[in-house]
Structures are given as structure tokens and as C-alpha cells.
């Protein structure tokens, strides 16, 4: 049997981390088994569908590198096929027309709730003869679910799961306006497309017995189901916007590498021994759906940041510089003293994203800096330190303004004033960068260049005098 999986998002919003992981597991399982992966857009919710969301989902999958072998298919273009299957089911008696009003259904529900019964359709129209079913009157179409027996399936992640048919109702497969419903469309699609393995979120478990019954009613083979647990935030609650970025494309905008994101979400519920870092080829080689945990996983930004920094550090200096440039809102070629490849190599040791490197390196390529108030108040107190540094740093030609020279000046200043290196280095750091933290300040100063360093020292000296 050739393995065939699918990812079937609804285009009502962006591709979130949970959907991306489901897609990844489906993609990996197909690739691991030399099978096929299908992209199918479930767009029959015409009121909530968005073309922008559809485009965003496809772009996110492309950014993550999950290519599909078939698709994208759109359910909205398959309405004739759904109508054909429904008509056949009506003829065979596995579906029927229902004429119950909203008021009747509401009364039934209220009575069931008052009696502490599970709300379900009472089957009022279930036994109408074909002659009693008038297609010209307003109606929906319901699936005639078996009233006895049970539905059992062996979930590839969770093991054997059983539902009694009496717990299931005759759910609607076509609304009054004729549009088919999710639980019906997905069955016809999986059947027509030859899907062998359905990997999806655990919120679909209750849909599975209904879908299996419909599949059996149309004579289709039952695929293998695997239901993946939810992803929680660090507080143990379902991952949402309050935990930070959950839109996959937001991670791109924030400067994460797709390889790091793929690696991280693959590990949200799956593992291979103690290994943490996987190439795409290794993920394909080792992935097995049976090794996915049925327990919820927690999204940990610290772990993602660690992985992303690791992937950035593994890039060549030129590759890293090219990627960081996409996030720089300044000209990275303005200074001969600061080759961007050298700058990013310095910052990557303390930054976790491409955007963070671009943001932090900005003061090297711009004129002047704004002093961070807290850092300035803490470290810009001794004007003599900055005046001494300025005098010594101005004593050479610009071409001699090297890392080694700046470091030597810092040592000489500390010795001359009887201070520790920290009492010299921190004021210089704040004066040159405006911040209380940065990579090695002697390297930073050499990148900024002599003229700009001296100008910033003047600015910091004036700030101290004005503050006093």
C-alpha cells in the first residue's frame, strides 16, 4: 500500500503552530514512507473564508519547505461531486431529508438538557418514506447513522478507541441552502484522493466515528487515524496569542530560520532518543507516527531561541550577513571599518534571531546614539574617564583605530586613573552604543570608527556635565 497523507486547513485565519505541526507530521510520514502528501483547502465556510488566509497558509508551508505532491485542492470547486454522492446516499437510504424547524430542534434540545440527556437529533424525520420526502420544501439532509453497535478504530498514537453508535446522532451533511458540511466533505475527499493516513489534532477525535460510518456507507476503505495532542503555553493552557507569536509567518517576520522552526515544532511531541537537533533529512529518516506522544506539549520560547541561534551560528558569515540584511532598515555598506560579515559574527553570539542582530547592530551604521536612561544614570558619572579616553583615542590616524588599539587605550586609562577595567569599559560602552550591554566594546568601537566614537564621547561628556 502506498502511503498518502493530507493537510486540510480551513482558510479562516493564519497557519498557526498547531496546524504547522500537524502538517509537518503528515509531510514527514509521507516522505519517510516514500509516499505522497496532499494539500487540500477546506473552504466551504463561505462566510468566514478569506483569500488572504489561503495565500498565507500556502506561503507559510512554502517558507517551512513542506512541498506537496498534489493540490492545492479546493472543496469549493468540488460541490458537484458532493451533491452526486448525497443524491446516491438518498437513493440508497443512507441519508434522508429533514424538515424540522429551528424551533422544534431547540425545544428538543431544551427537553433533553432538562432531563440531563446528551443533546442529539431525535430522529423525527428519519423514517419518512421517499414519497413523504418532498425535495421542493425547505430541508436539510442528514446522514442515517447506525442505531446499534459501535465504531472502533486503532489510533496510531492513542491506541484502540471505541464509540457506541447510540451516542452519535444523525448529523447534517447538507444544509438547507444545499452547502455540504465538514464531516461529509472530508469523507468524500479522503475517499476520492485515496488518503491512507489521517494525521490531525485531538479535537477531531469525536468526528472520527461519524466519518468512519459515512465511509462505510459509501463502501470506502477506512484510513488509519492518528490524533495529535494540543500544544500548550508555558502556563499549561492552550497556546494562544497571549503566549506570543502563534502565526507561523510571524516567526519569519521576527527573524527565525525555517530550519530552526521545523526542528522545534517536530520536537513538540515527538523524539528520537535524546537527539535535539535534526536536519531535514534526519527528520524524514527517523520520523515515525507511533513515536508521537499522546500527552500535551508545551511551547518554550527559550528552547526555540536556543535552536535558532544554533542554526544561525552554523551558517557561513556571508550567508548570515545576507539573511540579516533583510531585516536591516539602514545601509550596511556605509563603513569600511565595519564589514557586515564581521559584525554579524560578533553579534550572533548574543542574539537569538536575525532581526535581533539587525536591530542591535544598527548603532554601528548610524550617526549618533540615544542614551538609555537607566544605563547612563548608572555608568556615566565620571567625566574624567570619558575625557581621558577621548584624548587617547584621538591620538592616532583613523587607519590605526583597531580593536587592539582601543583595548590598549582602555588599559592605559584604567591604570592612569587607578580604576578597574569595568569602570572604564562600561562608560565607554554606554557612550558608544547608548546601551548597557553589547559585544566586546573594543571591537564595537573599531567598527563604529574613530570619528564617530569621538563624537559620541563628546555627546556623553556633555550629558554628564548637564546632569551634574
Residues that are catalytic: 241
- According to the annotation, is 127 in a ligand binding site? yes
Instruction: Give 16-48 as a DSSP string.
Output: BHHHHHHHHHHHHHHHHTT-EEEEEE----TTT
- According to the annotation, is 125 in a ligand binding site? yes
Please state, in angstroms and rounded to a whole number, the distance separating the CA atoms of residues 452 and 413. Answer: 20
- According to the annotation, is 241 in a ligand binding site? yes
CA-to-CA separations, 282 to 262, 287, 419, in angstroms, rounded: 12, 8, 54
DSSP state of 147: S
- According to the annotation, is 140 in a ligand binding site? no
CB 369 within 8 A of CB 363: yes
- According to the annotation, is 98 in a ligand binding site? yes
3-state helix, strand, coil in the chain (%, to 5): 50, 10, 35
By C-alpha distance, which of 374, 375, 380 is closest to 468?
380
CB 353 within 8 A of CB 381: no
Element (H, E) at 5: strand 4-7
Task: Name the phi and psi angles at 77, rounded to 5.
Answer: -95, 5
**51-64 helix and 258-266 helix, angle to the nearest 10 degrees:** 90
- What are 64-67's contacts with CB under 8 Å, separation 24+? 64/20, 64/23, 64/24, 64/248, 64/258, 64/261, 64/262, 65/258, 65/262, 65/280, 66/7, 66/23, 66/24, 66/27, 66/37, 67/37
Element (H, E) at 186: helix 182-192
**403-417 helix and 421-433 helix, angle to the nearest 10 degrees:** 130
Please state, in angstroms and rounded to a whole number, the distance separating the CA atoms of residues 136 and 301. Answer: 57
Please state, in angstroms and rounded to a whole number, the distance separating the CA atoms of residues 94 and 89. Answer: 5
Coil vs helix vs strand at 129: coil
**CA angle, 248 then 249 then 252, to 5°:** 105
> If 0-12 CB within 10 Å is exposed, 13-18 middle and 19+ buried, where does residue 93 land?
exposed
Please state, in angstroms and rounded to a whole number, the distance separating the CA atoms of residues 56 and 46. Answer: 17
Q: H/E/C letters for each residue in 365-418?
A: HCCCCCCCHHHHHHHCCCHHHHHHHHHHHCCCCHHHCCHHHHHHHHHHHHHHHC
* Binding site as annotated, residues for Zn(2+): 98, 100, 125, 127
Residues making up the annotated binding site are 98, 100, 125, 127, 241
Amino acid at each position: 500500500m502506498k502511503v498518502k497523507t493530507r493537510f486540510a486547513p480551513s482558510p479562516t485565519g493564519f497557519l498557526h503552530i498547531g496546524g504547522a505541526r500537524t502538517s509537518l507530521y503528515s509531510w514527514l510520514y509521507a516522505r519517510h514512507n516514500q509516499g505522497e502528501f496532499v494539500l487540500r483547502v477546506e473552504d466551504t465556510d463561505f462566510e468566514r473564508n478569506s483569500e488572504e488566509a489561503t495565500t498565507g497558509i500556502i506561503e507559510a508551508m512554502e517558507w517551512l519547505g513542506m512541498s506537496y505532491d498534489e493540490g492545492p485542492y479546493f472543496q469549493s470547486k468540488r460541490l458537484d461531486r458532493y451533491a452526486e454522492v448525497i443524491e446516491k446516499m438518498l437513493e440508497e437510504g443512507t441519508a434522508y431529508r429533514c424538515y424540522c424547524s429551528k424551533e422544534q430542534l431547540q425545544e428538543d434540545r431544551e427537553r433533553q438538557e432538562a432531563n440531563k440527556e446528551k443533546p442529539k437529533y431525535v430522529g423525527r424525520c428519519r423514517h419518512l418514506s421517499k414519497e413523504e420526502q418532498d425535495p421542493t420544501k425547505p430541508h436539510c439532509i442528514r446522514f442515517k447513522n447506525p442505531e446499534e453497535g459501535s465504531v472502533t478504530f486503532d489510533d496510531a498514537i492513542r491506541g484502540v478507541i471505541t464509540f457506541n453508535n447510540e451516542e452519535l446522532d444523525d448529523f447534517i451533511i447538507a444544509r438547507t441552502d444545499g452547502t455540504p458540511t465538514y464531516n461529509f466533505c472530508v469523507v468524500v475527499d479522503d475517499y476520492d484522493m485515496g488518503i491512507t493516513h489521517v494525521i490531525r489534532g485531538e479535537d477531531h477525535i469525536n468526528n472520527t466515528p461519524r466519518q468512519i460510518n459515512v465511509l462505510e456507507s459509501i463502501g470506502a476503505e477506512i484510513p488509519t487515524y492518528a490524533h495529535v495532542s494540543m500544544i500548550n503555553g508555558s502556563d499549561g493552557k492552550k497556546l494562544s496569542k497571549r503566549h506570543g507569536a502563534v502565526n507561523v509567518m510571524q516567526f519569519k517576520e521576527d527573524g527565525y530560520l525555517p530550519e530552526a522552526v521545523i526542528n522545534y515544532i517536530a520536537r513538540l511531541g515527538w523524539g528520537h532518543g535524546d537527539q535535539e537537533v535534526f536536519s531535514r533529512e534526519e527528520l524524514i529518516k527517523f520520523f515515525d507516527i507511533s513515536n508521537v506522544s499522546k500527552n500535551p506539549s508545551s511551547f518554550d520560547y527559550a528552547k526555540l531561541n536556543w535552536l535558532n541561534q544554533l542554526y544561525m551560528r552554523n551558517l557561513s558569515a556571508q550567508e548570515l550577513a545576507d539573511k540579516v540584511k533583510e531585516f536591516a532598515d539602514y545601509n550596511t555598506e556605509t563603513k569600511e571599518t565595519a564589514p557586515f560579515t564581521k559584525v554579524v559574527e560578533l553579534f550572533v553570539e548574543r542574539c537569538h534571531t536575525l532581526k535581533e542582530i539587525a536591530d542591535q547592530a544598527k548603532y554601528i551604521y548610524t550617526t549618533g546614539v540615544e542614551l538609555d536612561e537607566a544605563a547612563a544614570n548608572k555608568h556615566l558619572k565620571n567625566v574624567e574617564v570619558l575625557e581621558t579616553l577621548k584624548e587617547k583615542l584621538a591620538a592616532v590616524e583613523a587607519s590605526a583605530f583597531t580593536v587592539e588599539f582601543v583595548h590598549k587605550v582602555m588599559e592605559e586609562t584604567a591604570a592612569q586613573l587607578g580604576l578597574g577595567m569595568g569602570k572604564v569599559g562600561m562608560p565607554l560602552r554606554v557612550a558608544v552604543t547608548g546601551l548597557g550591554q553589547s559585544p566586546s566594546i573594543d571591537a564595537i568601537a573599531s567598527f563604529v570608527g574613530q570619528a564617530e566614537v569621538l563624537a559620541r564621547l563628546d555627546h556623553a561628556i556633555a550629558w554628564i556635565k548637564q546632569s551634574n
